[in-house]
Structure 1
């Protein structure tokens, strides 16, 4: 039996307590340990009756990339049924790309999840990315950039397709804690063989070991400056954002302000993943797609 102070339950509890109004939450679940842990933790807490305004559903994306994917999705369905949670399966149909497969699969997964959420009237999609995923993401982006300080990790919330929020309740806890939670409850999970395929960059990064982000404090400082810039210089006008003209000079001189503008653009753009950071002097049109949830 999991402890009352279990990190997975604590993270799930903090997340559920953040909702002040009734909400329908769609859990994206593959059957791996992280998403299984998220679903079980949320279901466990909702079963206590302490969160009567929360409705849980689950969705599995079958990418149809290898034999056995349909059986794994069915296994997830049985898990959800045991916990009294409605479950749907969405399949990636059609021809798959030869190159850039993981990026294409990720984009299609988010498209299918957003469509499922809109169809069933869910208020948000929940993804089970962990601190391990965050460290790997930062390491991958740092390897591609000479300027590591300005790189972003995954945000705890992004807007998918301009239609539905993707939230990450487990972003601050480790995978080991999630697996310990599942083991204490006697719950299993299904490992994805592609997680051991060295063709993929994330697998190679994971195999060599990833330390906590060494530029984390610098990144946090930039984020604080970005938040202060937005609070002082941006106004909401209907469905649009207005930037005070006097803020232009600040943007060109302050990396924190520039970061804030890029994050603001992400809210309007609705992408699910950040792009590379560009310096203001470059005057390029590529903007990242991450949004910090307040």
Structure 2
């Protein structure tokens, strides 16, 4: 015969509370902030509505929304990543792990967070990058440099100054400017991108932390008029020495030498390549729900 105490014990330990949704961390792109109601603020509310009870943190780099906006242009990404790592490590709601979504340049910044401090913050489960510049950029917005001599001339002027130390320290976009015509100078003087891509030396912590992800999801926008080349959103880029032929990730030395562990991740089924037939960061709620939210966030 089962006593009432035994029944109480069984009831207590078999009726478990529903599991809490995995928290989500967002990092905005250039010219945006954490919290504008017409951009990432609305997206935050959308996620909270679609995933009831989810904790969604939209990173603010600085003490105010204005500082956050300015820092997207003028605060060196290495300092921004340190700031984010510190904030994430101190957030008790993230200690059991979280998913991360980066928008445009916020994509490579969140990837740097995973690589540099993923072992110090709550484990990052899925890293989702929307229109990220993982191999950098070599072009001007809405300029289509490959077909226009003036655009090519201007980007060469930008490249002339991009690797000066004071420019690297004071202009965020210079830190992921990637000149395929002078790959050596890029690798020597890029203070952010060349480092997180392990192009000078292989930092094994970067590899281990990236490989610890459940999935690394990269979204490319097929008609992107902001990011050049758009293939950088899938880790593709121009072949060294010219600016016409594009090498895919799988054709690159980064992949062949597996300097970031991406080859192994693809073999393990952890790399996910998605495309969206729109301009930069243009997607519908339906597309996001079917391709990102349901498979990776719920």
Structure 1 length-normalised TM: 0.33
Structure 2 length-normalised TM: 0.33
Query: Computing the radius of gyration over CA atoms, which structure comes out larger, 1 or 2?
Result: 2
